[in-house]
Amino acid sequence: MTDTPQTSSRVSASPAEDEIDLGRLFGLLLDHKWLIIVITFVFALAGVVYAMLATPIYQGDALVQVERRSSISPLGDLGDVFGTESEASTSAEVQILQSRMVLGQVVDRVELDTVVQPRTMPVVGDFVLRRQIPRPAFMQGQAYIWGGESIQVGRFEVADHLRNQPITLRSLGDGRYELRTEERVLGVGEVGQLARTDDDAVLLRVAELQAPEGAEFILTKRSRAAAIRSLAGRLSVSEVGGGRNASTGMLRLTLTGPDREEIRHSLDAVAATFLRQNVERQAAQAEQSLDFLEEQAPELRAQLAAAEDNLNQYRVEQDSVDLSSESQAVIQQFIEVERQLNELEFQEAELAQRFTANHPSYQSLLRQKRQLQQQRAELNERVSQLPAAQQEIVRRTRDVEVTQAIYVNVLNKMQEMQIARAGTVGNVRIIDEALVGGGPIEPRKPLIVVLATLLGGMLSVGLVLLRGLLRRGVENPEQIEGAGLPVYATVPRSDEQDKLIKRVKHKRDRFASGVATALLAERHPADNAVEALRGLRTSLHFAMLEANDNRLVITGASPAVGKSFVSVNLAAVCAQAGQRVLVVDADMRKGHIHHAFGGRSQNGLSELLAGKIELDEAVRQGKVEGLDYLARGEAPPNPSELLMNARFSAFLEQVSERYDLVVIDTPPVLAVTDAAIVGRQCGTTLMVARFQVNPVKELQAAARRLETGGVVVKGAILNAMERKAATYYGYGYYYNYSYK
């Protein structure tokens, strides 16, 4: 065949398949609009269902204020007593609010370590409880909890090894219940009574149980640390108002959860615990000072008694010695100096608890103390210049007066501290008590539905576009012609032909395949597909003028492209035009042409080539005048070898003499070599490509396969063409019309 090299170069041309056609993509969306609508609706419906079934989460808040001043007293401002008047550290208070010290007390107060959960149905269980749907009759005896069924636990304690482990409480009816874990039964109990296991691992008192027999609740005693972490994860503290460098001291406490009462009780407990610890912290300093003074008072009282005894004894021994005015002045100065020194010692004791010796305040106090000690030394020098009797009486009188003044001062300080401790209210006050919002903050139902709808729309659009980009099957004749194959006909998809298809499954096939049960050209001769085949008949008349014989091979690159449909119906329209036509089913593996004629596969081509029957026995008459067919016969083990037998060549010579046209249906080119064997002995070969199924590269590969076997492909037939928006917007027009 002299034109083989030309054809080879012709089919090697490759169209630009990698370009993205925006018009085609838009058309794909229009073609699959109902799929997009359905998927979007399903996602929207799923969003509605989720929004209805999701457990609502509520939010409560409280407001507290951290003030500057720490205490008030009937004696006035005692800031000098405490030495604590300063700006409150709001950030420190926030950390205290979220500390284990505060939250641990809240857990103990509200019993957040005890968790009681009803056993609910999967997915819809919480919805049933929220809607208070009563238990239906057919669910009697089931473990699931329904609306109106509840439990109140008064006391629940477990051993350490059972903490964080669920314990199932199963109602036995009549106020009795059973406790069990996954491994064993712990015991039984009765409502209102303290139930105790044999090993004292569980102590439980159920105050109320409203549930039928068989209903179950899950009791869990969490560890204190786990309960604190759970509470901390739901609690947030933030400062209200204030600028970048300003602090208002107003703290808003926010707590979330599914139980509104639990939120309110927990928030109130957090605020109350924070207030109590703040008061205790502020009173602790006064308590320390009071303890110090109470330790000093007995010693001073004893010193005062000893000093008075010494003075009285000396007066008796000296028979009354009077003090001069100078001596009395010195004694008064001694009293004042000692009083000031005593004050400084108290202040030094307090400063030593808060500052180091290098602190400026501490250094200032030490300087004052040294000055007073120097004054006292000067007074002692003045006393030493007096007569001996006057010196002794001054010293002893000084000891009495100074000790008495110090003792009185200590008693006064003790009274001040007691009043200060009683008047301490802390620098924290609760502005707003806990308030839980009327509606849930989660789930945000409108937002969920909108997001689900958008997600469904995006996924469906993405799926359609992805499928369209990945499926690169031919959609117009130009694509095939760009590959170097002329298109002889474009056959539209026929709805009537789809009605003639039935599913048939062979023993060797995993899935059933569709076969035609009648001829479309006979049943519906005016169908558009039949009209297209009539146009093909005209084109073939001129194409086969150059051929050496009247044999036409119909093949395809892959299965299920419509080769058999084109073969039998083309043969039928040719027969209707007055020609004598024979259709040969050369697919001896899975051929099904006999179904279109209502016959059987036995006694066909395979038996003829095997020499079991003669030609006249194998050829059968079709339902259209002038149309005969030859079935595939029994599936042989060696179809290719039979086709290469000399009997096949002799068969072709015989039928070419008897008929005006011999149409041969062959297996797929890329699957087996049968098409190349048959095509080598036939003058005309056409390849069928299915709309949006066969890529151009697949057609090129099939053409090269045939050329390698010495077969020249005259052209192609685009089968099952559909009127789709992707084709219209991508290529601008359709390729089939109707005229009725």
Q: What is the CATH number of the domain that holds 570?
A: 3.40.50.300
- Is the CB of residue 663 less than 8 Å from the CB of residue 584? yes
Q: State whether 505 and 400 are in the same domain.
A: no
Q: State whether 463 and 497 are in the same domain.
A: no
Task: Assess whether pLDDT exceeds 80 at residue 503.
Answer: no
pLDDT at 249: 83
Q: What is the mean pLDDT of residues 615-634?
A: 93
Q: State whether 528 and 661 are in the same domain.
A: yes
Q: What is the CA radius of gyration of the chain?
A: 53
* One-character DSSP codes across 491-558: EEP-HHHHHTEEEE--TT-SS-EEEESS-HHHH-TTSHHHHHHHHHHHHHHHHTTSSSSSEEEEEESS
Q: State whether 294 and 386 are in the same domain.
A: yes
Give the whole-number percent of the chain exceeding pLDDT 70: 84
Task: Assess whether pLDDT exceeds 80 at residue 99.
Answer: yes
Q: Categorize the per-residue pLDDT at 409 as very low, low, confident or very high, splitting at 50, 70 and 90.
A: confident
Q: State whether 415 and 449 are in the same domain.
A: no
Q: Lowest-confidence range among 393-402, 438-447, 646-655, 695-704?
A: 393-402
Give the whole-number percent of the chain exceeding pLDDT 90: 53
- Is the CB of residue 56 less than 8 Å from the CB of residue 448? no
**Beta-bridge partner residues of 170:** 178, 216
Peptide bond into 667 cis (omega under 30): no
| Domain annotation covers residue 328 | yes
pLDDT at 309: 77
Q: How far apart are CA 652 and CA 655, in angstroms?
A: 5
Q: State whether 501 and 536 are in the same domain.
A: yes
Q: pLDDT tens digits for 342-380?
A: 778 777 777 776 777 788 888 888 888 888 888 878 777
Q: State whether 456 and 394 are in the same domain.
A: no
* One-character DSSP codes across 160-193: GGGTT-EEEEEEEETTEEEEE-SS-EEEEEETTS
Count the domains in the chain.
4
Q: What is the mean pLDDT of residues 689-704?
A: 92
Q: pLDDT tens digits for 571-587?
A: 999 999 999 999 999 99
Q: State whether 456 and 574 are in the same domain.
A: no
Q: How far apart are CA 481 and CA 464, in angstroms?
A: 27
Q: Categorize the per-residue pLDDT at 3 as very low, low, confident or very high, splitting at 50, 70 and 90.
A: very low
Q: pLDDT tens digits for 141-179?
A: 899 999 999 999 999 999 999 999 999 999 999 999 999
**Closest of 488, 514, 512, 491 to residue 501, by C-alpha:** 514
Looking at 173, 203, 221, the residue that finishes a domain is 221
| Domain annotation covers residue 179 | yes
pLDDT at 80: 43
Q: State whether 39 and 176 are in the same domain.
A: no
Q: How far apart are CA 395 and CA 259, in angstroms?
A: 77
**Closest of 209, 191, 235, 11 to residue 102, by C-alpha:** 235
Average pLDDT, the chain: 84
| Domain annotation covers residue 240 | no
| Side-chain half-sphere exposure of 33, counting CA atoms within 13 A | 7
**Beta-bridge partner residues of 256:** 59
| Domain annotation covers residue 69 | no
Q: Is the dihedral of CA 456, 458, 459, 460 positive or negative?
A: positive
Q: Lowest-confidence range among 80-84, 427-431, 716-720?
A: 80-84
**Beta-bridge partner residues of 719:** 690
Long-range CB contacts (within 8 A, 24+) of 464-468? 464/28, 464/29, 464/32, 464/35, 464/36, 465/25, 465/28, 465/29, 468/24, 468/25, 468/28, 468/726
Q: What is the mean pLDDT of residues 386-396?
A: 65
| Side-chain half-sphere exposure of 196, counting CA atoms within 13 A | 4
128 or 419: which carries more pLDDT confidence? 128
Q: How far apart are CA 666 and CA 564, in angstroms?
A: 9
Task: Assess whether pLDDT exceeds 90 at residue 501.
Answer: no
Token output for 40: 């979007």
Q: State whether 603 and 456 are in the same domain.
A: no
pLDDT at 394: 67
302 or 594: which carries more pLDDT confidence? 594
485 or 724: which carries more pLDDT confidence? 485
Q: State whether 386 and 480 are in the same domain.
A: no
289 or 437: which carries more pLDDT confidence? 437
| Domain annotation covers residue 736 | no
| Domain annotation covers residue 266 | no
What Å distances lie between residue 432 and 90, 269, 352, CA to CA?
18, 13, 39
CB atoms closer than 10 angstroms to residue 702: 27
Q: Where are the beta strands (DSSP E) in 536-678?
A: 551-556, 581-585, 620-621, 627-630, 661-665
Task: Assess whether pLDDT exceeds 80 at residue 282.
Answer: no
Task: Assess whether pLDDT exceeds 60 at residue 85.
Answer: no
Task: Assess whether pLDDT exceeds 90 at residue 107.
Answer: yes
Q: How far apart are CA 625 and CA 591, in angstroms?
A: 23
Q: How far apart are CA 543 and CA 368, in angstroms?
A: 127
The answer, as to whether pTM is greater than 0.85, is no
pLDDT at 608: 94
| DSSP H or E stretch at residue 195 | strand 194-196
| Domain annotation covers residue 310 | yes
Looking at 400, 430, 460, the residue that finishes a domain is 430
Token output for 88: 């409150």
What Å distances lie between residue 223 and 156, 197, 199, CA to CA?
13, 20, 20
- Name the 3-class secondary structure at 686: strand
Token output for 184: 């064993």
Q: Categorize the per-residue pLDDT at 621 as very low, low, confident or very high, splitting at 50, 70 and 90.
A: very high
For residue 179, what are the domain limits?
A: 114-221
pLDDT at 517: 86
Q: How far apart are CA 306 and CA 317, in angstroms?
A: 17
pLDDT at 83: 42
**Closest of 547, 614, 619, 618 to residue 580, by C-alpha:** 619
CB atoms closer than 10 angstroms to residue 308: 15
Q: What is the mean pLDDT of residues 3-28?
A: 56
Q: What is the mean pLDDT of residues 432-457?
A: 93
pLDDT at 444: 92
Task: Assess whether pLDDT exceeds 70 at residue 411.
Answer: yes
pLDDT at 613: 93
Task: Assess whether pLDDT exceeds 90 at residue 735.
Answer: no
Q: State whether 306 and 420 are in the same domain.
A: yes
Q: pLDDT tens digits for 41-83?
A: 999 999 999 999 999 999 999 999 988 654 433 333 434 444 4
Q: pLDDT tens digits for 223-269?
A: 999 999 999 999 999 988 765 555 778 999 999 999 999 999 999 99
pLDDT at 348: 79
| Domain annotation covers residue 562 | yes
pLDDT at 176: 94
